[in-house]
A = this chain, B = another copy of it.
């Protein structure tokens, strides 16, 4: 039994029972009618009292079972997901110009990205619904994460990728045993085909844009962050949390987790959210600075995981940043590559470009006066740098070529500064 009270449409507020088979509100449609899972927080508070927050019990995202929409815990996949390390790095704080800096290394999840939190919930909900196959359309971390968790749950998976999908990412899907369709067409065509095929064959659709349960997995990163700061850092909570933004589901999930920890008494004051986008793809920044309306944008950035010109969780994300009193900011690809390097060299966390973008965003926000120099900030490194070694090569430069003689080393020794 879960503590889910009901689901509610984020636009019209209409509620649906906890066991509704619906994903979206029939009145508001697939674009605006995303449903939000709501809990009986009084009951949750009785089993999760804040004074017992001492990181006892399970060290995975499943320690937050009372705040998850799981009806049958026996179906949880065996992979160890969540409870990723949270570091406080004085040298990274120095590089960014803030007083103190937390970095949560989500690349330490089973398939090396934050998306594992969503996929872990997705495969359980699919099995609870009696599905015999789970599907998604993606070429990125959502797909590889789904493939990994489907393997762990012994649930067949079908993944639709556009024909231009990078070979290495497709290989990861195939290694985990997913059925992979390379669709002769664009990403949008692959996405539409996945929707149609899921409907036609009764497959479970793992897609954060339409599925209300996946964000519940994503929010666990905030639940952990709050508990880890209580346990490891004497409750010195951040003033700002920076999150890279693509379709908007991640930052909306981060916000939901923070709000819940506030309701439950773990977190005394809500931080502000900094939504970070790439210069070449910034529909949120544009909307935030103007009328709050979505104008689909081009998607020209090497941070592929946030190259989303038409964000599917636009309203939820924009609302989260506004409620927090935060801001959106855009950074150049070069600033992202720089952040990838100085984060590895100071905090020893190797991020993929989309994970480094939010770090570059903090530096930019300090420079422009949005974040004060006396602020405590937190960033989420959402994916492991090994996911995109091409960008790492772009960022890191070349080795020094020498003949195999000691004189060649001594000639250079001491001339190099390492960070």
Contacts and interface: CB of A to CB of B under 8 A. Distances in A.
A182 to B, nearest CB: 4
A59 B167 CA distance: 36
A158 to B, nearest CB: 8
Nearest to A203: B413
Q: In the assembly, how many copies of this chain are there?
A: 2
A201 B402 contact: no
B395 A175 contact: yes
Interface string A56-69: 00010000000000
A409 B181 contact: yes
A319 interface: no
Interface stretch (A32-40, A246-254, A300-308, A338-346): A338-346
Nearest to A176: B344
Interface string A97-109: 0000000010010
In this complex, the member of A85, A87, A345 whose beta carbon has the largest number of chain B beta carbons within 10 angstroms is A345
A418 B177 contact: yes
A156 B416 CA distance: 10
Contacts of A368: none
Interface in A155-196: 156-158, 161, 163, 167-168, 170-185, 189-190, 192-193, 196
21 contacts: A79-B87, A79-B348, A80-B85, A91-B154, A110-B348, A112-B384, A154-B419, A157-B418, A168-B393, A170-B399, A171-B393, A172-B389, A174-B397, A175-B345, A175-B350, A177-B341, A181-B400, A183-B404, A184-B401, A185-B404, A193-B409
Closest 3 pairs between A and B when the two form their complex, measured CB to CB: A174-B396, A177-B345, A152-B348
Interface of A: 59, 77-80, 85, 87, 89, 91, 105, 108, 110-112, 148-149, 151-152, 154, 156-158, 161, 163, 167-168, 170-185, 189-190, 192-193, 196-197, 200-201, 340-341, 344-348, 350, 384-387, 389, 392-393, 395-406, 408-410, 412-413, 416, 418-419
